[in-house]
Amino acid sequence: MTQPALVVEDLSLAIGPAQVVDGVGFSVAPGEVLALVGESGCGKSLTAQAVMRLLPAAIRQVSGRVRLGAEEISALPERRMRELRGRRLSMIFQEPQAALDPLATVGTQVAEALRLSVAQARPQVRKMLEDVGISDPDRRIDQYPFELSGGMCQRVMIATALISGPAVLLADEPTTALDVTIQAQILDLLRRLATERQTAVVLITHDMGVVADIADRVAVMYAGRIAETGPTEAIFAAPRHPYTALLLASIPRLSDVPKSKLAVIEGRVPTPAEFGPGCRFAGRCPLADAHCAEATPPLRSVGDGRLSACFHAERVR
């Protein structure tokens, strides 16, 4: 087996006393797309920010190791981290217009990722813009972000993130702000680039449709923990965590009976102040018993390369 491009182990993050990310671990192989999926507040974006070491000041890292290829990077000094970011470890964000510098041309921003000027890197930048599907790159290279649509700006951000040939790309809700027809284009692009360039992609999303479209493997997060992880097909075909099962059943699909009752997850996600000693989903779970409220279920193997953090994984349907 090839060495994973990125390994995260036992990552825990806290705001004050509340552990908002708790013991999260995963690995991604070169050319693989791993989806971190969950609802708002589940800790998926914080996990990515911790990998980049771009956490907000209020968040404290309690534990966790991050390995980039063979190198442990969690203890690197900030100076070394800055050399990695944008070169071997890149990130793209939800709002492409907000993430780009409004005062710099497309070419300047893409070339900057190589620490070069447009004049120095024009042919490379042009080629990269072409690779991400920007039509008329010779004209676009000298334009400013406001002259481009949202989908076009997202392509520019992807070009900026990938031009240095990073081993890992963290993509935080990269298509959430885009229309469906544009989203389809960008997802196809990410899938193709991951395969062609053997970039490991961590795709952060709340949308199970996006996951089904391009992820090889999935990690479902709930309230700061991984509920379940495994190959995409296996998880969608037969979830092994009650949260995943209910989440999938609650989504209206083009194939279900119109106006039929959708499955509902009763109650709401607990706030960090409400986290108890047991499974964080116990309060909303139809399978929960007394044990679930008292002990934290460990992530354990449930076959087919899958892990589930549920005492009752075998009873989920």
The DSSP string of 104-170 is: S-HHHHHHHTTT--HHHHHHHHHHHHHHTT-SSHHHHTT--GGGS-HHHHHHHHHHHHHTT--SEEE
Closest contact distance (angstroms) between CB of 120 and another protein is 30
Of residues 166 and 174, the one with the C-beta less far from another protein: 174
Closest contact distance (angstroms) between CB of 45 and another protein is 14
Of residues 12 and 175, the one with the C-beta less far from another protein: 175
Of residues 263 and 295, the one with the C-beta less far from another protein: 263
Contact 91, 52 (CB under 8 A): yes
Closest contact distance (angstroms) between CB of 6 and another protein is 23
CA distance 102 to 148: 11
Residues 6+ apart with CB under 8 A from 60: 13, 14, 15
The two tokens of residue 207 are 């949308």
Query: Between the CA of residue 269 and those of 1, 104, 222, what are the distances in Å?
Result: 38, 41, 8
Closest contact distance (angstroms) between CB of 237 and another protein is 8
Closest contact distance (angstroms) between CB of 124 and another protein is 25
Contact 115, 92 (CB under 8 A): no
Of residues 115 and 268, the one with the C-beta less far from another protein: 268
Which residues here bind another protein, judged by CB under 8 A?
Answer: 39-40, 149, 151-152, 179-185, 187-188, 206-213, 232-233, 236-237, 246-248, 250-256, 258-259, 261-265, 268-269
Of residues 88 and 284, the one with the C-beta less far from another protein: 284
